[in-house]
Homo-oligomer: A and B are copies of this chain.
Amino acid sequence: MLLQIDHHSGQPIYRQVMDQIRRQILAGQLAQGEQLASVRELAAQIKVNPMTISKAYSLLEIEGLLERRRGVGLFVAGLNKAQKSRSKAELLEQILDRAVATAVQFEISEQDVHELTKRLFARYTSQIRRDEHE
C-alpha cells in the first residue's frame, strides 16, 4: 500500500490516510478481503505516530469500509459493484461540482473548462505512460 503524506498541507494526517485508503478501495487497488498493513508497520513506513494510523483505521471501520478480525488484523470489507460505482460517481460529482461552480462565478466558459479538462487528462495519461516504462 502506497501512501503519500504531505506534512505541510494543513490537512490532518489521519484524514489524508483515510482519504487515500478509501480511494484505493473504491478504485479496486485494494481488493475486497485484502489485509491491510498493521498499524505499526504503516506508521513506520510513513513516519508518523501510530495513534494517527489507528485513528484513521478506526474511522474507516466505522464507515464500513474496513472489517476488524480480532487478533488477526484489518481487512477490506465487501462492497458490491453497484455500491462501489455509485460511491465513485458521487465522489467525482462532488469534486467536479465545485469546479463548475467556480467557473460559473468567474465567468469562465464551459468551452474553456472543457479544454482545461482535456489538458489535465493528457497530463495524467502521459504521466502513467512514463510510469509504465520505468
Q: Given the complex of chains A and B, what is the CA–CA distance between A62 and B12 in angstroms? A: 17
Query: Within 8 Å of chain B (Cβ to Cβ): is A91?
Result: yes
A88 in contact with B100 (CB, 8 Å): no
Please provide the chain A residues from 93 to 126 with a CB less than 8 Å away from any CB of chain B in the complex.
93, 95-108, 110, 113-114, 116-118, 120-121, 124-125
Question: Are B96 and A26 in touch, CB under 8 angstroms?
Answer: no
Q: In the complex, which residues of chain B have a beta carbon less than 8 angstroms from the beta carbon of A101?
A: 124
Cβ-defined contact, B70 with A106, below 8 A: no
Q: Quickly give the copy total for this chain.
A: 4
Chain A interface, >50% SS class: helix
Answer whether residue A130 sits at the interface, using C-beta atoms and an 8 A cutoff. no
A29 to B96, CA, bound (A): 23
Instruction: Give the distance in Å from the alpha carbon of A40 to the alpha carbon of B127 in the complex.
Output: 47
Chain A residues with CB under 8 Å of chain B are 7-8, 12-13, 23, 26-27, 29, 49, 59, 62, 67-71, 88-89, 91-93, 95-108, 110, 113-114, 116-118, 120-121, 124-125, 128
